[in-house]
Amino acid sequence: MKRFLFFFAFVAFAVGLVSAAEESKPQKIKTGWNFGPLPAVSFSTERGFQYGALCEIYNYGDGKVFPGYYHKFNVELSHYTKGSSNLHLFYDSKFLIPGVRFTAAVSYIPDKMSEFYGFNGDVSVYNKDYDKSDKFDGAGNSLAYYNIRKDMFRAVADFQGQIGKLPLNWIAGLAYYDYSVGNVSGKKYEKYKVLENNTLYSNYVRYGIIPESQKDGGSMLDIKAGLVLDTRDHEAAPNKGFCAEAALIGSFIGRNNPGYLNYMAHWRHYITLAKNRLVFAYHLAFQGNLMGETPWFALNNVYTSYFRQIRSEGVGGQNSVRGMMRNRLTASGYAWANFEMRVKLFEFNLINQYWYVAANPFFDLGYITQTYRMYDQVMAKYNFQDNDFLLVNNMDQNLHYSAGLGLKIVMNYNFIISAEFAKSFREQDGNTSLAIQLNYIF
């Protein structure tokens, strides 16, 4: 498999270098409204097959800001065969409020088979025989030991404004989250022998690792403030420049929310190696806790000043460390990095729209920087030694890494259909994943 991935990464890289000598074709300026309705048909190893409808709508106005836009809308109604859904409405504009960029999103994301692998990464043992495998009891039965029901409602409003004449913006925002959590239930999932007292989640509740007051979920109102320094030539698929952002996120209001102050920092850098053909891009991200304690059900929220994907969660999965199991690293703080070569393979015009096809071989890393309720987790092992489900693997944190290859189909620079195959290189993190979705992950 490694040879397969690196072979295609090499081919994509070589094609980009050969093509770099070609002169890029002049592109037609888009004006007015542009609609991108599509059936929401995709596949994700994490969620299964997706079906539904989506539409991205752009208003380019007089074309003076193209490939930028005056207004952007995204609407999606879809369902995945493994039990989750997306009901999502998104809006973004730098022109609705003079001098201020306004971004808003309202989402309802129910997930009947969300993953929960425990706290603190490698400290929590992953046993694949308990993860929907027919090897659970030797009789062909399977167990969804690492699954929970996790339904989320989210409403977000973010604001950005320029400071002086520098490419420096202040950012401020409000975000409301409401979670409903419990064991998996329903006739569809009876085949997994989902027993209330035989899941990792129920054991965490029983032994106090998850507080009784938080076992059913809760709500938070986040307040965000920070800075963004942005020199990118284009947001959706930059050729050059960087974007650095840092913010504090505080929450002291909500149901079953003890209150917390967290931080986030992102560095995204894009380096042109061959004009209009080859870009090296990398992303460094840090997130952690400064005060209080984040509720366990919100630990996987990945903070950002702009939602590129409907689901903003990690670490692990198709939007953070690709190839790793979704949310494998659940802790108070974590860091991750993405490195990729973006190679424009060819371009063309179709149905009066400009298109190009690109490949992106990539390499990802993840690491836990702050543990969460480690004392409670370790004490559960020693106080309840007959419960092998709670065995602590080791007390050390390790580097998690993966690699893969992506293919992109891009319309008018902004509408990006993405397919990415990735492989994790550690058995405790999973094996391989395939994801088809919209946009680059950074």
266-285: pLDDT as tens digits: 999 999 999 999 999 999 99
pLDDT, position 394: 73
Residues 6 or more apart whose CB falls under 8 angstroms from that of 384 comprise 207, 390
pLDDT, position 143: 75
pLDDT, position 287: 97
Q: Determine the Cα–Cα distance for residues 413 and 133; give it in Å rounded to an integer.
A: 42
Q: What is the DSSP string of 176-195?
A: EEEEEEE---SGGGGGGT--
pLDDT, position 291: 97
Residues belonging to the chain: 442
Of 15, 11, 9, nearest in space to 278 by CA: 15
Q: Determine the Cα–Cα distance for residues 183 and 114; give it in Å rounded to an integer.
A: 10
For residue 243, give the 3-state DSSP assignment: strand
CA atoms 84, 150, 154, 401: torsion sign: negative
Q: Determine the Cα–Cα distance for residues 378 and 410; give it in Å rounded to an integer.
A: 48
Domain spanning 2-438, CATH class: mainly beta
Residues 6 or more apart whose CB falls under 8 angstroms from that of 325 comprise 46, 115, 117, 126, 316, 317, 424, 429, 430
pLDDT, position 153: 98
pLDDT, position 310: 87
Label residue 231 exposed, middle or buried (CB < 10 Å: 0-12, 13-18, 19+): middle
CB 272: neighbour CB atoms within 10 A?
A: 15
pLDDT by position in tens, the chain (length 442): 443 343 344 344 434 433 433 444 546 788 999 988 888 888 888 888 999 999 999 999 999 999 889 999 999 999 999 889 999 999 999 999 999 999 999 999 999 999 999 999 989 989 888 887 766 655 555 678 899 999 999 999 999 999 988 899 999 999 999 999 998 887 777 777 655 567 889 889 988 899 999 999 999 999 999 999 999 999 999 999 999 999 999 999 999 999 999 999 999 999 999 999 999 999 999 999 999 999 999 999 999 888 888 888 989 999 999 999 999 999 999 999 999 999 999 999 998 889 999 999 999 999 999 999 998 888 887 776 555 555 577 778 899 999 999 999 999 998 999 999 999 999 999 999 999 988 999 9
Q: Determine the Cα–Cα distance for residues 360 and 418; give it in Å rounded to an integer.
A: 10
